[in-house]
Structure 1
Amino acid sequence: MLIEEIFQEIDQRKDEMIQHRRHIHHNAEVSFKEKETADYIVNYYKGKDVEVTKNMEGYGLRVLIDSGKAGKTIALRADFDALPIQEETGLDFASKNPGVMHACGHDAHTAYLMVLADILLEKKDQLKGKIVIIHQHAEEAPPGGAEQMIEAGVLDGVDNVFGIHVMSAMDFGSIQYHKGNTQTGRAKFTIKFQGKGGHGSMPHQANDSIVAASYFVTVLQTIISRRLSPFENGVVTIGSFAGEGSFNIIKDSVTVMGDVRAMADETKDKIEAEVKRIAKGVGLTFNMDVDIDYVNDYPVLYNDPAMTQLVVDAITEAKIPGVVDISDGGPQPPSEDFSYYAAERPSCFFYVGAHKEDAPYPHHHPKFDIREDAMVIAAKAMAAVSLKYLLED
């Protein structure tokens, strides 16, 4: 059977996946600056019977595999940007670039998909339709590479999109999915409270921006506790409070930066309205100017129920060696710019366990690492999905 042939070749090319992953990890590049990584991927496809479109409003790549037979067009997506984090893993292939690290698994995503794409290319005469491989830049930083690549036409002719994220907190051998709203939408805000500076001994002659901004931070917590229904999911986090100064000087202005997450776009809109209302209200209460910069970026990631069921059925039927659990993992708190693809085409984004016993660290941690065998499971899972999608009505 074709799927057994593909699984066998994936096993045989495990070391190649690891080699690609470690090269990308060692040469980590942050979002929108992934030139060397993009060049490495392009060189991999040189001389192969594929159509490669480069620089899709950034360093993203579109690779087209055409079976030459009529059928649907599936897109498989992997991201390849790193994070502005100083690596502390001590790995032999740790990032050589100071302050930059693959601390989220995007190196593994790219490595497994490169090898899988090559295998599917070898088997294309036994397939129908087309496969679009999306090697995406800049998932970690808004506006995000997905939105840019969509604007550049990466989804032209594509019917559905599938993606995988390896998860360091998930047991190796587990695969999780969720139907409907699956990952939070995100927004960020920067608010400046402009008061009047002065001497600490004469507060009546000044207008203390620290007092006003502190009041804002405190009242902001009531959005979640008193403005959202108990059945709505939302988070508001203050990540920066720029109020540093001298002990005896009243600050002239304070700038506050915050992060918003919600599991429904309607909830995200409600939080935005409340943040702005409270900020303006604090300005009126303390008689100071308030400048609000509020930016919505990644939308809520919606997994199409039919496409998600296809994923579940495909992986279950494939009986992938090493997979011990396929389950609904529920909604995930982080945001993910795969949501842009899912907003354009019925899609599914699912998760592969990559927990490593000697590296029990979460994503975005300076000691983050994964069990590399998870790439084999990811490749087999996506192969099973691709074959079921392309070959079955």
Structure 2
Amino acid sequence: MKNVQQKLQQRLKERESEIIELRRYMHQYPELSFKEEKTAKFIADFYEGKDCVVKTNVGDGYGITVDITGGLPGANLAIRADFDALPIQEDTPFSFASQTPGVMHACGHDGHTAYMMILADTLIELKAEIPGSIRVLHQPAEEIPPGGALGMIEAGCLDGIDHVLGAHVMTNMALGKIGYREGAIQTGRSTFKLKLQGKGGHGAAPQEANDTIVAAAQFITAVQTIVSRRINPADTVTVTIGSFDGAGIPNVIKDSVFLAGDVRVMRESNLAIVEAQFKQLLDGICQAFGLTYDLDYTSDYPVLMNDAELTQMAAKAFKKAKIENVTEVFRCEPQTPSEDFAYYAKVKPSSFFYIGATKEGEEAFPHHHPKFQIDEECLLIAARAMGSAVLEYQFNGIK
């Protein structure tokens, strides 16, 4: 294994400029979730003529699988990268900034795909020396529920697979650091859309109306008590009202308003608790104010659970490989966003880890921000980290 590991790490270093070139191209031409037709073709064309088996249109979007069969018997591992963008207008000075108005790679998925393409190609070059098989999952539509993972799983992308690995570049983590953690690592999520229907009227005669704005204000305050009074204080739970559409004029009492928001939990069972309390409060407030309502409440991404043994194996591989420019491999805190990689983890033992993407001293813009940027040195680190974990798994398995 040591000889193959050295070859892989060296070859990835030699191809760093290719990773960056691929990333910049995709950054210029982003596509939204479930609409990534050109990006998918770009990825599939990259593998044309290579010694691997490629399937396109996997699932209900533009999913791609790439099977790399090693020269020796062994385990079957899947490695995943996503490739969708976000409906955000980019505000960066880069020469490779988005050429598509209102659409931007503001989460790093272009970088995930770029490093994975070159890593996969390098594994293809070395496959005669590698045991088992590796399936690359190029996944669309991570950002929008129900996500691209579910469709790919239903289409059989995990058939015959033993374990799954994934990674995310993180601007809130310093360049050179790799984070890992066993157990619950990213939140599960529910989303809701709510219309409150009352009776409109004149501002000078409120007694003749059923005021939806006052009722909605009461509800917004009340739902925060779910976290403070119905959830174990040791648990991570948030309830966010992200939209309140009640625009009108000063002397008119609105007959209807619209609210939307989401719920995040780090313990799966809390999703049901929040939903039940949410609906109970809504029923009570609507009864008190004489309103009716229309509610669309959906639990979408589950809590992402990292398999302990696989995670420890990956962490061991990162340290053992002594990856250039990696300053620390550490057990990080859970991350509060949600991630549809969680669906893979519900089917197969999986592990998701994090690659620091902001150089010390530079401003770190959060993910989904118009000024989002990564230090591109993180892409080679990501490729080398994932590559080291792949070889550790294929050669030595989980111990």
- Is residue 359–residue 370 contact of structure 1 (8 Å, CA) maintained in 2? no
**1:177 and 2:191 correspond:** no
Unaligned runs of 5+ in 1: none
Q: What do the CA deviations read for 1:75-98 (whole angstroms, capped 9, x no partner)?
A: 010000001000001110000000
- Is residue 71–residue 129 contact of structure 2 (8 Å, CA) maintained in 1? no
Deviation at 1:68, TM superposition (A): 4.5
- Is residue 303–residue 342 contact of structure 2 (8 Å, CA) maintained in 1? yes
- Aligned AA (2:269): E
3-state SS of paired residue (2:173): coil
User: What is the alpha-carbon distance in structure 2 between the residues aligned to residue 72 and residue 6 of structure 1?
Assistant: 19
| Residue of structure 1 in register with 2:383 after alignment | 379
State which of 35, 38, 42 in structure 2 corresponds to 1:40. Answer: 42
3-state SS of paired residue (1:302): strand
State which of 156, 179, 186 in structure 1 corresponds to 2:189. Answer: 186
3-state SS of paired residue (1:55): strand
| Residue of structure 2 in register with 1:20 after alignment | 22
Let me know the Cα RMSD of the aligned residues: 0.9
| % identical aligned pairs | 51
Q: TM-score, normalised by structure 1?
A: 0.99
**1:204 and 2:207 correspond:** yes
- Paired residues for 1:1-393 under 5 Å: 1-56=3-58, 57-356=60-359, 357-393=361-397
Unaligned runs of 5+ in 2: none
Deviation at 1:296, TM superposition (A): 0.5
User: What is the alpha-carbon distance in structure 2 between the residues aligned to residue 276 and residue 327 of structure 1?
Assistant: 41
3-state SS of paired residue (1:221): helix
Deviation at 1:392, TM superposition (A): 1.2
- Is residue 196–residue 206 contact of structure 1 (8 Å, CA) maintained in 2? yes
Deviation at 1:360, TM superposition (A): 2.0
Q: What do the CA deviations read for 1:327-369 (whole angstroms, capped 9, x no partner)?
A: 1111110100000001110000000111045442111110111
Shifted more, 131-140 versus 190-199: the winner is 190-199
Q: What do the CA deviations read for 1:301-326 (whole angstroms, capped 9, x no partner)?
A: 00000000010111111111111101
User: What is the alpha-carbon distance in structure 2 between the residues aligned to residue 355 and residue 157 of structure 1?
Assistant: 37
Shifted more, 356-365 versus 259-268: the winner is 356-365
User: What is the alpha-carbon distance in structure 2 between the residues aligned to residue 347 and residue 236 of structure 1?
Assistant: 28
Q: TM-score, normalised by structure 2?
A: 0.97
Q: What do the CA deviations read for 1:204-262 (whole angstroms, capped 9, x no partner)?
A: 11111111111100111111111111111100000111111111111111111111000
- Is residue 167–residue 354 contact of structure 2 (8 Å, CA) maintained in 1? yes
- Aligned AA (2:21): Q
Q: What do the CA deviations read for 1:166-216 (whole angstroms, capped 9, x no partner)?
A: 011211110001100110001111111110111111111111111111110
Query: How many residues of Structure 1 are paired with residues of Structure 2 in the alignment?
Result: 393
3-state SS of paired residue (2:172): coil
User: What is the alpha-carbon distance in structure 1 between the residues aligned to residue 249 and residue 155 of structure 2?
Assistant: 50
- Is residue 128–residue 391 contact of structure 1 (8 Å, CA) maintained in 2? yes
Deviation at 1:70, TM superposition (A): 2.1
- Is residue 183–residue 305 contact of structure 2 (8 Å, CA) maintained in 1? yes
Deviation at 1:384, TM superposition (A): 0.7
3-state SS of paired residue (1:207): coil
- Aligned AA (1:392): N
User: What is the alpha-carbon distance in structure 2 between the residues aligned to residue 250 and residue 362 of structure 1?
Assistant: 39
Q: Greater share of strand residues, 1 or 2? A: 2
Deviation at 1:69, TM superposition (A): 3.1
- Is residue 72–residue 129 contact of structure 2 (8 Å, CA) maintained in 1? no
Shifted more, 37-46 versus 198-207: the winner is 198-207
User: What is the alpha-carbon distance in structure 2 between the residues aligned to residue 392 and residue 311 of structure 1?
Assistant: 11
Shifted more, 279-288 versus 108-117: the winner is 279-288
- Is residue 233–residue 267 contact of structure 1 (8 Å, CA) maintained in 2? no
